[in-house]
Structure 1
Amino acid sequence: MELVFDNSELNGIWGAEAPDILVIGGYAIRRDMTVGLLERVKAFKAKHGIDSHCPVKWNMRDLDRPLAAHGLENQKQILIEKSDAIRTDLLDALTTAGAVIFVSVIHAYSNNKQVLGKTKEDLVGYSFGNLLMRVGLFCKDSAGGRRVDSLLDWPEANNRAPFTSEYHTGWRYGRSGPEQGGVKYQCGPLAQMAFAPAVAFAGMEFEPRLQLADLVVGAGREFINYSMGKSKKEAFGVQRFKALLPHLYQANGQTLGRGITVSPTNGDLSAAVLKALKSM
């Protein structure tokens, strides 16, 4: 099993001085399905008139550095003009390959820019832990003792600590934070489910699996915006998330708290997300 994740942040509707909502998302996929998936990704890129190795993102306008890394600066206009079709085909390729989608959302408790800056690392770790717990529950039922590897996009400011620290305590102790205290993972220690001892990181511009995770997170962001009344239901991104909904991890028909987790669970954002899910 392979787990591939990316993260992003956005502003809520509560007047925060800096981005106050963090989204971490991506997918789980059987390793034997990735070769065929990556071939289809290359074919879809070529179908739309771009190089089969051309990097893509949800925000195609934010590709200057990745395109330069490949010497493909001349592809940007095509990416922008055909962005909807490209994103639709690639997300469809992902779900056709049997990927299971996960999204973890956390709303900060402060609106103050200075406080948000100081607590961001803790928020990243906490949200990643929420994600790992749910992925752990999924893998406990479906991985069957097969090795589980995790791949993350190279983090902002090269700061891997929130991810590596959370993963280590989840892997070794089945908890967020230190061995004593912290939130107990519902799935137990990740080591007991054949998770690799550490996560791997790579640059999105050279890794199409991470490009797909970026698309998942992008659709997730659009759904959160819809939940807060900042996007319409008919918007392209909201409809892409709606298409992903059947592929989110579910338990007994429950998506919220499984494939999509929102923290705090009793806050305004979680209530808005639940309402939006029911409206889809």
Structure 2
Amino acid sequence: MAVYEVYAHPALLRYKTSICTKATLFIFIVLCLTYIPPLLVAYRSQGFWLKRSTYEEQPNVRFQYQILLIAATSTNGDYVAWSTFPNFNTLQGSNLRIPSVSVREDDHNKDGKFDRLNLRLDLPLRAEEQIYSVQMLLTFSYQIFRMSTVLMQTLLYVQHSSSVPGSQLYLNGDLRLQQRVPLGHRGVDTTYNVPVIDGNSPFASTYDLVNIMGSYQERNLTTVLSTPGPVWTVGRAAGTPFQISAVINYPVEPGFWEMVKFAWIQYVSVLLIFIWVFQRVQTFVFQNQILPTVPIPLHKQHQY
């Protein structure tokens, strides 16, 4: 009669020994060689810890309707100025010029966050006055929430000069976040959620651009205007104001850093190879009784 196989299943053997034996020492060494070398291999292969990573987020930016403007009317130091800070205007005396300002913020994709600021400023001048350079500060409320929660007040500095007097300055650029250190991923960062310009101060030094920008640039988080270059228009007609037109976009910005997830992937990919190798080493050692142990079939463990 022909014999054929109708069913097959693996037989499980358990190898037992006491604690103070060579087999126990062997298992301990195998475990160390299985789990520690993959860690060293992954770490020494460079890039084990992902210390910095970026993601994209649309910041919540709001113009705070604070402006400080200084415009040179000659090459020998004459100027005109204006700001939304009454104490600054009081200090200007005859140099004060009150402009007409219009501001509009647009939300093009209707996501509840503004995408663009449109600003126009018409600065009245006397018949003999010409504009050779412009320095302007704008303040914003800047917030990000997705991975890092940061609430701060920030500044935008606009500057342009020319040897030829102009009639209009046009700007179109992006309000970009600059960071010197990675953003934290825990808690709410409100370190810079304070006024950039102290509008309540009566002292002239408070509104000095060198002092303002010097203090601002010491921060870890700042904003700058990224633009290919302003457009300076010459030929102002007598009696017409000097015009500043600015289109400032609020683009998607990066942030946040993380480490563990990337390192874990590298470690496991190397560990699987070591587990496969050392499982076969252990099987060979114990099946061939290279180290004395007591093999016990699984079905005998349940007999009483």
TM-score tier (shorter): under 0.3
TM-score by length of 1: 0.22
The answer to which structure has the higher strand fraction is 2
The answer to which structure has the higher helix fraction is 1
- Higher RCO structure (Cα 8 Å, ≥6 apart): 2
